[in-house]
Amino acid sequence: MLANLPDLVRARRDPAVAARSAAAERAAAGSIPTADEEVWRYSRIGELDLGRFAPGRATTTVSGGAGLEVQGWEPVDEEPVDLFHDLNTALAEPTVLRIPGGRTIADPVVVSHHVAGDGVACFPRLVVEAGPDSDVTIVEHFTSADDVDALCVPRLEIHAAQAARVRYLGVNLLGARTWMLAHQRALGERDSNSLLATVSLGGDYARVRTEARIVGQGGTTRQIALYYADGTQMHDFRTLQDHAAPRTNSDLLFKGAVQDHAKSVYTGLIKIRHDAKGSVAFQTNRNLTLSPGAWAESVPNLDIETNDVKCSHASAIGPVDEEQRFYLESRGIRPEVAERLVVLGFFDEVLQQLPVGPLAAELRVRIGEKLSRRQVAPELAGVAS
């Protein structure tokens, strides 16, 4: 993919060809990150063979928010993050949503990407520019069939202007052979309020790097996620809560479960910069391990450059609470039903905060389906029955 990338980009004759070509040149001269780099620690990036994939396109549809989709996109001049950032800039399939100042979009704007071809690498990019005092909810879906061997490298850019209110939900329902390497960035101005929410149930290796930066006084950001891996899946989250202005607020709640031989990784950083006095930040990650062969890693971090702030972080990894299970079983509830209720209760705190309430019922069904597929060790089979 990398060797002929610059020629491929130049041949497209895109209006943004200069920026795309520069990114293509960097990508062609670059290399795939390794797990030796801290931001890729614990990852499966060493398994990726880019040579197996050819640039292609996802089928993208947009519904709701009439008049907000804008054709034409010019990449922002910014510091490249990694090889995949450059690949997305060079080959991006952009969807641009501009919400005029003062406008409220009543219904969610739904952006759907479906990956259909074996050996395809696709690069969706969603750009949201919310004007001052605007209000919008956006839901982005990613899907593919279970037998599709593909690579999806999406990027999300949100700019919330003064007092804008932006709620975003990304839902990963990719098939069992598709990889996702996602990067989300939100920038909040004075008194803005943004939500970055993620539900990750699909994919083989699914990675989301999500960064929320507040540059205006009084800005607020929340990050929430629900992830559930089974079989040999791996869900990988890297988060940043970046406070660059005084009296800003951030809150993060990520909850996940792993079963069978699945894995999950969470590493997060709260960064309070020197000029961000009076800021408040919280970070919580909790994980359930539902099988002896499952594995989860949780690494919260703080980087505080000033005083007069309030910050905390917490993480936990463990099995289903035996006291909760015993309480339900003592009232005549079968063990498998008791466990299902405990797991659904564990996730309910996140489900209740999703910006699109009706989705919660569908997601509860999908969580129940995953739990019902759990592989029970032979020595426990008699107990479970």
pLDDT digits (tens, 9 = 90+) for 318-365: 998 888 887 888 888 888 888 888 999 999 999 999 999 888 999 999
The residue extents of the domains of the chain are 5-319
**Pairing label, strands 120-122, 69-70:** unpaired
Q: How high is the mean pLDDT of the chain? A: 91
In the predicted model, is pLDDT for residue 250 greater than 60?
yes
Please tell me the predicted confidence (pLDDT) of residue 379: 39
* Per-residue model confidence (pLDDT) at position 66: 66
| Token pair belonging to 360 | 């919660």
Task: Read off the pLDDT of residues 78-135 as tens digits, 9 standing for 90 and up.
Answer: 777 899 999 999 999 999 999 999 999 989 999 999 999 899 999 999 999 999 999 9
pTM, to two decimals = 0.93
- Sign, CA dihedral 287-292-293-299, equals positive
Question: Once rounded to an integer, what is the mean pLDDT over residues 186-197?
Answer: 98
C-beta neighbour count of 381 within 10 angstroms: 9
- Four-CA torsion 94, 362, 298, 44, nearest 10 degrees: -50
Between the two ends of the chain, the Cα-to-Cα distance in Å is 50
Q: Do the beta carbons of residue 204 and residue 179 sit within 8 Å? A: yes
Least confident residue range of 151-155, 245-249, 304-308: 304-308
Instruction: State the pLDDT at residue 50.
Output: 94
